Amino acid sequence: MKTAVVGLGIVGGSIALGLKENPDYTVFGLTRSESTAEYALSAGMISKGSTRPEEILPEAELVIICLYPDAMESFVRENAAFFRPGAVLMDVTGIKRGIVPQILAAKPPQCDFVFTHPMAGRESRGIKFASADVLKGANFLIVPAEGNRPESLALVEKLAKDCGFGKITRLSPEEHDRGIAFTSQLSHVIAVALVNASRNEAKVEALSGDSYRGITRIASINEDLWAELFMGNREYLLEMIALFEAEVDKIKLRLEESDPEGLKELFRSSARIKNTL
């Protein structure tokens, strides 16, 4: 299958690498800069690369658009004439409610668009950090839209399996955005806040164990991408921050009241939930 990856950053590049050895796919790259296309070609990630949509899109049976959320809609609208009739388009964006109606309105009617979220981001950015390993066993989310053909959904599921993704889950846009606000966005709020709180603390590195390193790994955050993701999901994210803060406050209260039994109850609860996952 002739497959175009649009945007060869950490996600697009990793997907291209995940398909590299697979004879079912011939991978093309559409990039913003010449140098990225050249790098991808020389690394064997793609068999053809260009910065010109008209050289890549008309051939592609599957187009995997790996752009930031705010760039998605204009890319699809401006290139509507270049997509091959009958092609399946897909995205990899981390928020869905805002994007789904925009894209459905912008896409050419003869193409099906499948909304996905491969949960394989990394704190590094750019093609040089792309790696097929990050896809292995990672969760893959599909947000079916009205009008999606079953064959298109099946094609995207096959792609996810071929890349080595683990669990594949179908969700509504609301389920997706609420869930992601909790698991992914709140985790980034926590990491950023913890590292910013370390500003005036001494010897943090010498005093760090795996727990601190595990939380703060993602604090070297891609500011442009994550500002878009947070702003596009702010109501849910604010709700999740409030949920989290209420739980922090329970621990704080037990400490203020010198209540070790109350602390243990909260610890037992988290251990129980964690161990059932």
Binding to its own copies, residues 86-145 (CB under 8 A): 119-121, 138-139, 141
Residue 264, helix vs strand vs coil: helix
Ramachandran area for residue 147 (φ above 0: left; ψ -120 to 50: alpha; else beta): left
Query: Cβ 152 to its own copies, closest distance in Å?
Result: 21
Question: With CB under 8 A as the contact rule, which of the stretches 27-35, 76-84, 147-155, 235-243 interacts with its own copies?
Answer: 235-243
100 sits in which H/E element: helix 99-106
Among 32, 41, 48, 230, binds its own copies (CB under 8 A): 230
Q: Which is nearer to its own copies, 77 or 212 (CB)?
A: 212
**For residues 256-275, which are near its own copies according to CB under 8 A?**
256, 258, 260, 263-264, 266-271, 273-275
Q: Which of 219, 172, 225, 214 is nearest to 198 (CA)?
A: 219
Closest CA to 185 of 142, 132, 241, 260: 241
**Binding positions for its own copies, 154-193, rule CB under 8 A:** 167, 169, 171, 175-176, 178-180, 182-184, 186-193
Residues β-bridged to residue 27: 3
Residue 91 vs 112, nearer CB to its own copies = 91
Closest distance of CB 7 from its own copies, Å: 19
Query: Closer CB to its own copies, residue 146 or residue 201?
Result: 201
**Count, residues near its own copies per rule CB under 8 A:** 89
Beta-carbon-side half-sphere exposure of residue 237 (alpha carbons within 13 Å): 18
- Asked if 119 contacts 139 with a C-beta cutoff of 8 angstroms, the reply is yes
Per-residue binder mask for its own copies (CB under 8 A), 193-222, x = binder? xxxxxxx-xxxxxxxxxxxx-xxxxxxxxx
Q: Which helix (H) or strand (E) holds 268?
A: helix 260-276
How many Cα atoms within 13 Å fall on the side-chain side of residue 6? 25
* Shortest distance (Å) from residue 71 CB to its own copies: 15
- Closer to its own copies by CB, 112 or 177: give it: 177
Closest approach of its own copies to the CB of residue 124, in Å: 11
Element counts in the chain: helices (H) and strands (E): 12, 8
